[in-house]
Amino acid sequence: MSTNTRNLRNVVLLGHSDSGKTTLIETMLYEGGAINRRGSVEGQNMVSDHTEIEHEKRKTLFSHQMFVNWRNNKINIIDTPGFDDFVGEVVSSLKVADTALIVLNAANGVEVGTQIVWEYVEKYLTPTIFVINQMDHAKADYEKTLEQAKERFGSKVVPIQYPLNSGGNFNSIIDALRMVMYVFPENGGKPEKKPIPESEMARANEMHNALVEIAAENEEGLMEKYFEEGNLSEDDLAKGITIALAKQQFFPVFVTSGLKDMGSGRLMGFIDDIAPSPAERPARKLENGEEISYDPADKTTVFIYKTLSEPQVGMVSYFKVLSGTLKPGDELINADNGENERLSQLFITEGKDRIPVTELVAGDLGATVKLKSGHSNNTLNSKGLNRKVRPMEFPESRIRKAVSAGSAADMEKLVTALHKIGEEDPTLHVEQSAELKQTLLHAQGQLHLDLVKQRLEREFGVKMTFENPKIPYRETITGKADADYRHKKQSGGAGQFAEIHMRVENFYDGMEEPTGVNIRQKDIEELPWGGKLAFYWCIVGGAIDNRFIGAIKKGIMQQMKEGPLTGSHCQNIRVAVYEGKMHSVDSNDISFQLAAAGAFREGFQRAKPQLLEPVYSVEILCPDADTGDVMGDLQTRRAIISGMDSEGHYQKILAEVPLAEMHDYGSALRSITGGRAKFTMKFSQYQLVPGNVQQELVKSHAHLEEA
């Protein structure tokens, strides 16, 4: 089937884990004739979850791109993971979708995973259809789920269908748009259309009238026609709700059982008839403020939304054609790095299967292999174009672990492999921390880390271990002290000599200038690790030459990089050098560096030294029933609760928590709430460490120094 932009529908399925997205997709592909037999999770033979790791976990861990031809249209379908550990797959998939299908579990209602994806749906202004799935579940509750959806997502949530019965007896759906009842055979499949029972007509008419009003409000002339005739034709109704859906003024609700193949065909028909094609979506804003429309006759622009390394294949790049018509062999310029890219082969994908094609038009999704330097978030253009798509923005990491390997050679291999995985996964960050002397892995959660570890071992043959990372403490002082230090070394010939007297005290913006000294020069420096050093040169009478100022500051900075308490960086300190001695022959830069470091160390220790720890603002969204347990756990982590609020049928808890207490928080929260909660964390500030904690940390550091 030849495809043009208006014949395309790009749909992404979103929802909490176990909402049944992948099973529903399998049924949609079957209904459309893309497959002749439905696979199952247990059978490990589904089109979407086709990787070995997904078979083992029985969960969707990656986004997967598929398609089905339905009537005259091609419907591209993207499946996404339900765990928030893999939210990057959701963000990238939404970037290229034109319609979102949010799948709700009829037994569990609106779950926290749905709350997460909604934030991105709103950000991308994506037309949205809600699907209440698993209506055949013994605990299915359509009314509760619909009410929760309206409560959380607003009055734009409008049901098109409702079940006549649910649970094990589910087999009938009342459709208020077409004003018909679908009755399915026992094992699902093609339904029989029947009149709506008289007992249900009042409710069905009320729902139908609500749909008519939505349609009339969104198409000029339809409101007048509606008032005159009291109803709208099927074509007028379709025209009006198409506009309402495209403008995100209407979020229709369907009911299905993906497992039993009930309702999926009607859902596909609605996507085919009503969901917007790329041509009907607003022009996309570019990074420079200009716009680009899905025009097949324009020059070519392609956006890479996902890359994945496959054994024996190499890097596979998944993309959306934003303009023009792409053909095999086309050469494009990467707007992000200036590299030429030849797309020698083009594919459309059906899960793991890649099907070669001779062209892809604006709006279509496709894949290619072995690009030289094309990565996720890159824009590729025909020569002469200067277009760059606004990059995808991913959430900050919520967990970090130190990684280690058996030997230096293994560690080098490990870091190389991590960077390769990081190219595919923008939510994974590798950090070589010079401060902590550790290689850190920043991720979205423990499941995310576990997946990375499995891939490292299987795909790259690298063994690794996770360790709790060190905490980037800071050291400061709360008092004031004078100190002096003499460095003297004689070993034949020229020796080393320097003597320094300095005052060390806590520094803060706006404090009064030091008294009792003659200020000759002052510098207030922003430190690379945060905080400040205020350096005052108060030498009079030439006791120390000005030429040694740089060496003295260097000595102080060297000591501040590894503070006296725990070896952590020091900050917010004022140093006034007011006296000293030098020797005409033996004084040199290294002598004054060592003397400055010694004087600073002694003064620091006498000036009421204090350890600071990083504190993070943590936001937790959890079910009402779990609030007490979540709060109790936070209290064991030295958390300060800063606020609470209701968000739908969830509680939002705001807390300030020391980073040292957050090592295992993702796993703990999942255990406490049965995976029904989410959290985000963001650096807030450095705060004083409690005295007993400081004593333990200082003692532990001293033991390490002695070892």
Q: Please compute the mean of the pLDDT values over residues 239-265 and round it to a whole number.
A: 95
* pLDDT recorded at residue 325: 97
List pLDDT tens digits, range 505-530: 999 999 999 999 999 999 999 999 99
pTM comes to 0.88
- Residue 115 host element (H or E): helix 112-124
pLDDT band at 254 (very low <50, low <70, confident <90, very high): very high
The yes-or-no verdict on residue 57 having pLDDT over 80 is: yes
CA distances from 685 to 184, 347, 366, 700 (A): 59, 49, 45, 24
List pLDDT tens digits, range 122-144: 999 999 999 999 999 999 999 99
**Quick check: 48 and 61 in contact, CB under 8 A?**
no
Per this entry, what is the length of the chain?
707
**Rounded CA separation 212/154 (Å):** 19
List pLDDT tens digits, range 402-437: 999 988 889 999 999 999 899 889 999 999 999 999
Instruction: Collapse the DSSP code of 434 into the 3-class scheme (helix H, G, I; strand E, B; otherwise coil) and give the result.
Output: coil
Instruction: Collapse the DSSP code of 661 into the 3-class scheme (helix H, G, I; strand E, B; otherwise coil) and give the result.
Output: helix
Q: Please compute the mean of the pLDDT values over residues 306-333 and round it to a whole number.
A: 92
The yes-or-no verdict on residue 492 having pLDDT over 70 is: no
Residue 57, class by beta-carbon neighbours within 10 Å (0-12 exposed, 13-18 middle, 19+ buried)?
Answer: middle
Q: Please compute the mean of the pLDDT values over residues 242-265 and round it to a whole number.
A: 95
The yes-or-no verdict on residue 578 having pLDDT over 60 is: yes
* pLDDT recorded at residue 648: 74
* pLDDT recorded at residue 3: 75
The yes-or-no verdict on residue 342 having pLDDT over 90 is: yes
List pLDDT tens digits, range 99-126: 999 999 999 999 888 887 898 999 999 9
**Residues whose CB is less than 8 angstroms from the CB of residue 12 and which lie 6 or more positions away in sequence, other chains included:** 77, 78, 80, 93, 94, 97, 99, 100, 101, 126
- Residue 26 host element (H or E): helix 21-31
Residue 276 DSSP symbol: P
Q: Please compute the mean of the pLDDT values over residues 375-395 and round it to a whole number.
A: 94
Q: Hey, what long-range contacts does 541-550 have (CB within 8 A, 24 or more apart)?
A: 543/579, 543/580, 543/581, 543/582, 544/500, 544/577, 544/580, 544/581, 544/582, 544/592, 545/582, 548/498, 548/582, 548/587, 548/589, 548/592, 549/521, 550/589
Q: Could you count the other beta carbons within 10 Å of the beta carbon of residue 637?
A: 17
Instruction: Collapse the DSSP code of 183 into the 3-class scheme (helix H, G, I; strand E, B; otherwise coil) and give the result.
Output: strand
Q: Please compute the mean of the pLDDT values over residues 648-654 and round it to a whole number.
A: 88
Angle at 18 (CA atoms; ends 64, 66), nearest 5 degrees: 20
Q: Please compute the mean of the pLDDT values over residues 554-558 and round it to a whole number.
A: 96
Strand partners, 302: 321, 380
Instruction: Collapse the DSSP code of 87 into the 3-class scheme (helix H, G, I; strand E, B; otherwise coil) and give the result.
Output: helix
* pLDDT recorded at residue 702: 86
Strand partners, 181: 174, 194
* pLDDT recorded at residue 1: 46
Provide the mean pLDDT of the chain.
93
The yes-or-no verdict on residue 2 having pLDDT over 60 is: no
- Domains of the chain (ranges; CATH) run 5-280 (3.40.50.300), 284-381 (2.40.30.10), 399-467 (3.30.70.870), 475-607 (3.30.230.10), 612-693 (3.30.70.240)
List pLDDT tens digits, range 262-274: 999 999 999 999 9
* pLDDT > 70: percent of the chain: 99
**Residues whose CB is less than 8 angstroms from the CB of residue 545 and which lie 6 or more positions away in sequence, other chains included:** 582
- Helix 627-635 to helix 665-673 angle (10° resolution) is 150
